[in-house]
C-alpha cells in the first residue's frame, strides 16, 4: 500500500484507529513522512485528517495501530511528550498570548535563565532575531503578539518549532486565511525547512497549493487510507476522484445567464482608512467576483454595502433606490442578503436549532397577530433546508455539531428564504469539502440564471475565475481593475491585486 | 428532489418535561408536599398568603431580569430603583398627590432609571455589570438623599388594605392578579414574538444577531427600561404592603432576584432560560424560607441552605455532563484521556 521506498521514514502511521463513543473518527489511518520531503494529506471534511494529526500531536491516544518515529514505536500521552520527541503542529489559527512579546511567545515555558535564575532577555531576543533571519522574515522580536496578522502568527509558531528543533512539522490548513504573498512566504519557509532535512506534512483543501508545494500526496476518505501518490505522477482530477470516491464532475459549473438591469449600484463609497471612492454595479443574472489580497478591503466593502459597518461618504442603491447606510435591516428590506465570511461567528447562532437559524431573517413575516410559534418557524424553514439538502435528522437539532459545509448550507438557506434581489456571499466555500463546494457553485449558477444578482468575494483565484462573469480587483481599498470573464487570467488578476501604484493614485 | 425533515427530534412530552425548568418545578412540588406533611402549620391559612406577599416583589422583578440575563447582560440596580420609587411615592403623596398619580410618577421615574442604564449599556457599549453597580449606588443615594433616615408612613388605609388583600377566601393575595398578567405578557414576549427570538440571538451570538438584522442595541435598551419600570412598580407595591416609604427599602433584593433567576435555569452567560422555570425558582426559595421559618430555624441557616441550593443548581449541568461522559466511557471499550467527544464532521482547529 505505501510507496516502495528504501530507508526508514521519520514518521510513520500504520492502520491507526480512533473512535469517540460510537463515532469512528479514524478507521485505518496510514502515512509515511520522509525526512527532506513535504507530504500532503488530503481528504474531505470528516475524512479523519484532523484526528490523525491530533493523534500524532498527542492530543488523542490511538485505539489501535502503530505510530513509529524513526522506526521506533512510540505512544504519546500528552502534547508535551509529542513536542519533546520533535513533533510540532501549526494550526490554522495559532494560539499565541496576545499580551506577550513575540519572543516571550516563542520561549513560553522554557525561558533561558542567567545568573540567579533570572530570565536572560537579551539571549532570548538574540536567538529570536537569528530565527527570523533564518526564516527570512522581518518581525520585531520585541513587539507584542497582539495585532499580528495570522500569517505572522504562523511564522511565530514555526519559529517556535524550529527553536525546539522539531524534526516533523505538521501544518493543518495553514493557508486558509492567508493572501497570495503570505502564502508564497510560507512556502519559501517550508521549502527551506525541507532542505534542512525535516519532514513536513501539509494539509490543505487547495489543490493548486498541494501540487505546487508537495512531493507526495496521501489521500484519506471516510477515516481510511486510500492511496499515496507522487505529485509528479498524478493530477487534480485523479486526487479529487480518490477523495470523493466518485467523479465530482465540474467544480465550477458556471452557465452563461442572461444579464438584465443593474440591481446594485455603488457610487463613490469611502470609509476613512479602509476603502476609497469605490464605484461598481452588479446586474441581474450576473455573478461579480470581488478579488484581491486578504486585507485589501474586499470584505469591508461588502460589509459597508450591507450596512453592518457604516461608511463616510458615497451611496448604495438597490434597484434604483438609495439604501440608507449603517443599517442591515434597511438593506434586508431593500432586498439584500449577506452570507458572511465567518459562519460560526457571524453567520449562525450555532447554539440554536436549524429551524431557528433558517427562519432567522424572515421570522417577522411568520408571526400572526404579533405571535410567532416554533411550528410556523419549522414549516417555513423545512422547504429551504430541503432545497439545500442540509443534513440533519430534525429541524430542532443544534447547528453547533454540524460540519462546515452543512453549516454553510444553513446560512445560505436562511438568506435565500428572504427571496433577495442581491446576494452578497463572502468566501462561499472556505473550509468546506469538495463535494459541497461543487454543490454551492452549482447553486450560485442556478440563482444567477433565475435573475439574482450575486456579489461573490473569494480568496481562491480558481473560484473567482471559474464562477464570475466579471472580476473586480481590490487593492489597498480601491478597485484597480474590472475584468470581464473572457479576459480574466490568474496573471492579470494578481497584477491588479498588487497594483499599489494604481491604488495610491 | 428536496429532503423532508421531522420538525422535532424528540416526542412532545420529552421536549416539555425533560427540561431544566421542569426539574425545578418538580423540586418545588416535592418541597411543598414534604412541608405539608412534616412542617407544623405549613397547611395553615396564612402561610400561602404571607409567602406570596413576601415573594411578590421578587416574582415581579424576576420577569424582566430573566429577559435581561438571557441577552447576556445583568441589572444590579433593581433594588435601588425599588427604594427610589418607594421614596418618590411617599414624598409625592405627602405633597398632596393621590396614590395612583404618585404611583404613576414613581413608575415613570423607574422608566427613566432603566433608560439611563439601557443607554449606557446598549448605545455607549459599557458592560452592564459595571454600569449597574454604579447606578445601584446612584439610585440608592438619590433615594436616601431625598428622605434622609426618616420614613413616611401616612398612606391611606384603603390602599394599604388592597396591597395585602386576598382574593375571596382563597388566601391568594390580589397582587397575584397583577403578577399573573405580567407573567403572561413577558412569556409571550420572550417565547412567542420575533422580539423574543432576538433576545435569545443577542445572548447566544450578538454579532450573528446583528448580521441577521436583529436590532441588538434597541433590544437591550427596551429590556433595561422594562426592568426599571417593573422594579418601580414593585417599589410601589412594597411601600403600600409595609405602609412605609424609606430610602433603604429592599436593600439587597437584587441578589435574591438574580439567585432565583439562576436557580430557575437561566444561564448567566445568556441565551438560555425560560420564565416558567424562573417562577418556580422564586417560589422554591420562598417555600423553603417559609417552611424553615415555621420550624423556627434561624435566618442565617436559611441563607446557608438557599446558597447551597443555588451553587448545586449552577453546578448541576456540569456534573450531569461529567457523569454521562463517565458512563459513556465505561460502556465503550478503551480508555481515552479526552472526555469531550470531537465532532467528526467539524472543521479541525
Do the Cβ atoms of B9 and A397 come within 8 Å?
yes
Strand partners, A89: A170
Which residues of chain B does A371 touch, with a Cβ-Cβ cutoff of 8 Å? 188, 192-193
Do the Cβ atoms of B201 and A352 come within 8 Å?
yes
Q: Contact, A68 vs A234, CB < 8 A?
A: no
Q: Contact, A173 vs A203, CB < 8 A?
A: yes
Categorize the per-residue pLDDT at B342 as very low, low, confident or very high, splitting at 50, 70 and 90: very low
Q: Contact, A251 vs A241, CB < 8 A?
A: no
Residues whose CB falls within 8 Å of the CB of residue A282, separated by 6 or more in sequence, listed in order: A262, A263, A264, A288, A422, A453, A454, A455
Q: Could you report the per-residue pLDDT of B146-203, keeping only the tens digit for each?
A: 998 889 999 999 999 999 999 988 889 999 999 999 999 999 999 999 999 999 999 9
Decide whether A11-96+148-244 matches A254-335+420-505 in CATH topology. Answer: yes
Minimal C-alpha gap between A492 and chain B (Å) = 33
Minimal C-alpha gap between A352 and chain B (Å) = 8
Grid coordinates given for A124: 532570548
Categorize the per-residue pLDDT at B274 as very low, low, confident or very high, splitting at 50, 70 and 90: very high
> The cell 386576598 sits on which residue?
B166
Which residue from A23, A173, A404 is facing B344, i.e. has the nearest CB?
A: A23
Which residues of chain A does B15 touch, with a Cβ-Cβ cutoff of 8 Å? 396
CATH number for the domain formed by residue range(s) B53-314: 1.10.3470
Categorize the per-residue pLDDT at B346 as very low, low, confident or very high, splitting at 50, 70 and 90: very low
Categorize the per-residue pLDDT at B1 as very low, low, confident or very high, splitting at 50, 70 and 90: very low
Q: Domain residue spans in chain B?
A: 53-314
Q: Using CA atoms, how far apart are residues A278 and A480, in angstroms rounded to an integer?
A: 10
**Mean pLDDT, range A400-411, rounded to an integer:** 86
Q: Does B270 reach chain A within 8 Å, measured CB to CB? A: no
pLDDT for the residue B32: 95
Query: Is residue A1 scored above 50 in pLDDT?
Result: no
Highest mean pLDDT (candidates A9-18, B88-97, B340-349) = B88-97
Q: Could you report the per-residue pLDDT of B280-296, keeping only the tens digit for each?
A: 999 999 999 999 999 98
Q: Among the listed ranges A236-250, A374-388, B103-117, which one has the minimum average pLDDT value?
A: A236-250
Closest CA to A168 of A51, A39, A64, A65: A39
Do the Cβ atoms of B348 and A390 come within 8 Å?
no
> Strand, helix or coil at B281?
helix
Q: Residues of chain B with pLDDT > 70: what percent?
A: 91
CA angle (A493, A494, A500) in 5-degree steps: 105
According to CATH, the topology of domain A254-335+420-505 is Rossmann fold (3.40.50)
Which residue from B213, B343, B346 is facing A328, i.e. has the nearest CB?
A: B213
Do the Cβ atoms of A363 and B197 come within 8 Å?
yes
Interface confidence, given as ipTM, is: 0.83
Which residues of chain B does A360 touch, with a Cβ-Cβ cutoff of 8 Å? 197, 201, 212
Interface test with A, best of B192, B267, B344 (most A CBs within 10 A): B344
Q: Does A59 reach chain B within 8 Å, measured CB to CB? A: yes
pLDDT for the residue A501: 64
Q: Using CA atoms, how far apart are residues B306 and A47, in angstroms rounded to an integer?
A: 50
Q: Does B6 reach chain A within 8 Å, measured CB to CB? A: yes
Q: Domain residue spans in chain A?
A: 11-96+148-244, 254-335+420-505, 351-418
Q: Residues of chain A with pLDDT > 90: what percent?
A: 45
Pairing of strands A422-426, A336-339: parallel
CA angle (A358, A360, A363) in 5-degree steps: 110
pLDDT for the residue A349: 92
Query: Is residue A342 scored above 60 in pLDDT?
Result: yes
Q: What is the 3-state secondary structure (H, E, C) of A399-449?
A: CCCCCHHHHHHHHHHHHHCCCCCEEEEECCCCCCCHHHHHHHHHHHHHHHH
Query: Is residue A162 scored above 90 in pLDDT?
Result: no
Q: Using CA atoms, how far apart are residues A65 and A16, in angstroms rounded to an integer?
A: 4
Average pLDDT, chain B: 89
Q: Contact, A458 vs A291, CB < 8 A?
A: yes
Query: Is residue B348 scored above 50 in pLDDT?
Result: no
Closest CA to B77 of B255, B265, B303: B255
Q: Does A81 reach chain B within 8 Å, measured CB to CB? A: no
Q: Could you report the per-residue pLDDT of A139-158, keeping only the tens digit for each?
A: 899 999 888 887 888 888 88
Please tell me the CATH superfamily of domain A11-96+148-244, with its number.
Answer: P-loop containing nucleotide triphosphate hydrolases (3.40.50.300)
Average pLDDT, chain A: 87
Do the Cβ atoms of A403 and B346 come within 8 Å?
yes
Helices (H), A171-297: 180-195, 207-213, 236-244
Which residue from A54, A349, A371 is facing B188, i.e. has the nearest CB?
A: A371
Cα B273 to its chain centre, rounded Å, is: 11
Q: What are phi and psi of A47, to 5 degrees?
A: -75, -15
Q: What are phi and psi of A428, to 5 degrees?
A: -60, -30
Which residue from B3, B193, B341 is facing A386, i.e. has the nearest CB?
A: B3
Categorize the per-residue pLDDT at B219 as very low, low, confident or very high, splitting at 50, 70 and 90: very high
Q: Contact, A323 vs A307, CB < 8 A?
A: yes
Q: Using CA atoms, how far apart are residues B4 and B8, in angstroms rounded to an integer?
A: 12
Interface test with B, best of A353, A360, A412 (most B CBs within 10 A): A360
pLDDT for the residue A4: 41
Closest chain B residue by Cα to residue A89: B349
**Mean pLDDT, range B301-312, rounded to an integer:** 86
This prediction's pTM: 0.79
Q: Contact, A30 vs A16, CB < 8 A?
A: yes
Categorize the per-residue pLDDT at B20 as very low, low, confident or very high, splitting at 50, 70 and 90: confident
pLDDT for the residue B211: 94
Minimal C-alpha gap between A28 and chain B (Å) = 15
Closest CA to B76 of B210, B222, B261, B213: B261
pLDDT for the residue A45: 66
Q: Could you report the per-residue pLDDT of B91-136, keeping only the tens digit for each?
A: 999 999 999 999 999 999 999 999 999 999 999 999 999 999 999 9
Cα-based distances in Å from B34 to B31, B40, B115, B277: 5, 11, 44, 20
Q: Using CA atoms, how far apart are residues A384 and A367, in angstroms rounded to an integer?
A: 18
Minimal C-alpha gap between B179 and chain A (Å) = 21
Q: Contact, B82 vs B88, CB < 8 A?
A: no
Closest CA to B83 of B65, B116, B60, B106: B106
Q: Could you report the per-residue pLDDT of B38-53, keeping only the tens digit for each?
A: 998 898 888 999 999 9
Interface test with A, best of B197, B206, B324 (most A CBs within 10 A): B197
Amino acid at each position: 500500500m505505501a510507496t516502495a521506498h528504501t530507508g526508514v521514514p521519520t514518521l510513520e502511521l500504520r492502520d491507526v484507529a480512533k473512535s469517540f463513543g460510537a463515532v469512528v473518527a479514524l478507521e485505518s489511518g496510514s502515512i509515511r513522512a520522509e525526512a527532506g520531503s513535504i507530504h500532503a494529506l488530503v481528504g474531505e471534511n470528516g475524512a479523519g485528517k484532523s484526528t490523525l494529526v491530533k493523534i500524532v500531536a498527542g492530543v488523542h491516544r490511538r485505539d489501535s495501530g502503530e505510530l513509529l518515529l524513526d522506526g521506533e514505536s512510540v505512544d504519546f500521552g500528552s502534547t508535551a511528550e509529542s513536542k519533546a520527541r520533535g513533533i510540532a503542529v501549526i494550526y490554522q489559527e495559532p494560539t499565541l498570548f496576545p499580551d506577550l512579546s513575540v519572543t516571550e511567545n516563542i520561549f513560553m515555558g522554557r525561558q533561558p535563565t542567567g545568573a540567579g535564575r533570572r530570565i536572560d532577555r537579551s539571549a532570548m531576543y538574540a536567538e529570536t532575531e537569528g530565527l527570523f533571519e533564518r526564516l527570512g522574515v522581518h518581525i520585531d522580536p520585541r513587539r507584542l503578539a497582539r495585532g499580528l496578522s495570522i500569517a505572522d502568527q504562523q511564522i511565530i509558531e514555526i519559529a517556535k518549532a524550529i527553536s525546539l528543533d522539531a524534526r516533523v512539522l505538521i501544518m493543518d490548513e495553514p493557508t486558509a486565511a492567508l493572501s497570495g504573498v503570505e502564502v508564497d512566504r510560507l512556502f519559501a519557509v517550508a521549502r527551506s525547512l525541507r532542505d534542512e532535512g525535516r519532514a513536513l506534512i501539509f494539509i490543505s483543501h487547495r489543490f493548486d497549493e498541494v501540487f505546487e508545494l508537495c512531493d507526495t500526496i496521501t489521500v484519506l476518505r471516510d477515516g481510511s487510507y486510500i492511496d499515496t501518490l507522487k505529485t509528479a505522477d498524478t493530477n487534480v482530477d485523479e486526487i479529487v476522484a480518490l477523495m470523493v470516491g466518485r467523479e465530482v464532475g465540474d467544480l465550477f459549473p458556471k452557465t452563461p445567464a442572461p444579464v438584465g438591469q443593474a440591481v446594485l449600484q455603488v457610487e463613490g463609497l469611502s470609509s476613512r482608512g479602509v476603502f476609497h471612492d469605490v464605484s461598481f454595479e452588479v446586474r441581474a443574472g450576473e455573478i461579480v467576483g470581488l478579488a484581491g489580497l486578504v486585507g485589501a478591503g474586499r470584505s469591508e466593502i461588502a460589509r459597508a454595502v450591507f450596512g453592518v459597518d457604516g461608511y463616510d461618504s458615497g451611496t448604495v442603491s438597490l434597484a434604483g433606490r438609495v439604501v440608507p447606510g449603517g443599517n442591515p435591516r434597511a438593506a434586508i428590506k431593500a432586498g439584500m442578503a449577506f452570507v458572511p465570511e465567518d459562519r460560526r461567528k457571524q453567520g449562525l447562532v450555532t447554539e440554536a436549532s436549524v429551524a431557528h437559524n433558517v427562519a432567522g431573517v424572515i421570522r417577522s413575516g411568520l408571526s400572526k397577530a404579533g405571535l410567532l410559534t416554533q411550528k410556523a418557524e419549522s414549516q417555513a424553514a423545512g422547504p429551504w433546508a430541503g432545497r439545500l439538502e442540509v443534513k440533519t435528522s430534525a429541524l430542532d437539532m443544534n447547528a453547533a455539531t454540524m460540519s462546515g459545509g452543512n453549516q454553510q448550507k444553513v446560512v445560505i438557506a436562511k438568506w435565500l428564504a428572504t427571496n433577495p434581489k442581491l446576494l452578497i456571499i463572502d468566501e462561499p466555500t472556505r473550509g468546506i469539502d469538495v463535494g459541497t463546494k461543487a454543490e454551492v457553485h452549482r447553486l450560485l449558477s442556478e440563482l444567477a440564471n433565475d435573475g439574482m444578482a450575486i456579489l461573490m468575494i473569494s480568496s481562491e483565484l480558481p473560484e473567482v475565475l471559474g464562477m464570475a462573469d466579471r472580476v473586480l480587483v481590490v487593492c489597498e481599498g480601491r478597485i484597480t481593475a474590472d475584468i470581464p470573464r473572457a479576459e480574466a487570467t490568474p496573471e492579470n488578476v494578481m497584477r491588479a491585486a498588487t497594483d499599489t501604484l494604481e491604488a495610491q493614485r | 428532489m428536496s429532503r423532508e425533515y421531522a420538525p422535532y427530534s424528540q416526542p412532545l412530552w420529552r421536549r416539555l418535561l425533560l427540561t431544566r425548568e421542569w426539574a425545578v418545578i418538580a423540586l418545588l412540588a416535592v418541597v411543598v408536599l414534604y412541608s405539608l406533611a412534616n412542617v407544623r402549620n405549613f397547611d395553615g391559612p396564612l402561610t400561602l398568603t404571607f409567602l406570596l406577599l413576601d415573594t411578590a416583589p421578587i416574582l415581579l422583578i424576576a420577569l424582566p431580569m430573566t429577559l435581561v440575563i438571557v441577552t447576556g447582560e445583568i441589572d444590579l440596580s433593581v433594588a435601588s430603583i425599588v427604594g427610589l420609587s418607594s421614596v418618590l411615592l411617599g414624598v409625592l403623596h405627602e405633597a398632596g398627590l393621590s396614590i395612583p398619580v404618585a404611583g404613576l410618577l414613581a413608575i415613570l421615574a423607574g422608566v427613566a432609571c432603566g433608560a439611563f442604564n439601557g443607554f449606557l449599556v446598549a448605545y455607549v457599549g459599557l458592560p452592564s455589570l459595571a454600569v449597574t453597580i454604579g447606578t445601584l449606588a446612584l439610585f440608592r443615594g438619590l433615594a436616601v438623599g431625598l428622605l434622609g433616615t426618616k420614613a413616611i408612613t401616612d398612606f391611606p388605609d384603603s390602599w394599604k388594605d388592597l396591597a395585602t388583600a386576598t382574593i375571596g377566601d382563597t388566601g391568594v393575595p390580589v397582587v397575584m392578579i397583577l403578577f399573573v398578567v405580567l407573567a403572561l405578557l413577558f412569556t409571550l414576549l420572550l417565547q412567542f414574538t420575533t422580539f423574543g427570538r432576538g433576545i435569545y440571538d443577542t445572548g447566544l451570538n450578538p454579532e450573528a444577531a446583528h448580521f441577521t438584522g436583529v436590532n441588538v442595541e434597541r433590544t437591550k435598551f427596551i429590556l433595561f427600561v422594562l426592568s426599571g419600570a417593573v422594579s418601580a412598580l414593585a417599589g410601589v407595591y412594597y411601600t403600600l404592603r409595609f405602609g412605609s416609604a424609606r430610602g433603604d427599602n429592599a436593600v439587597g433584593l437584587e441578589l435574591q432576584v438574580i439567585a432565583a433567576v439562576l436557580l430557575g435555569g437561566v444561564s448567566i452567560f445568556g441565551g438560555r432560560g425560560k420564565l416558567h422555570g424562573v417562577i418556580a425558582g422564586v417560589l422554591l426559595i420562598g417555600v423553603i424560607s417559609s417552611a424553615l421559618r415555621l420550624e423556627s430555624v434561624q435566618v442565617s441557616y436559611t441563607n446557608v441552605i438557599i446558597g447551597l441550593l443555588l451553587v448545586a443548581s449552577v453546578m448541576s449541568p456540569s456534573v450531569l455532563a461529567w457523569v454521562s461522559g463517565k458512563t459513556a466511557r465505561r460502556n465503550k471499550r478503551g480508555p481515552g484521556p479526552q472526555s469531550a467527544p470531537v465532532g467528526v464532521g467539524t472543521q479541525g482547529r
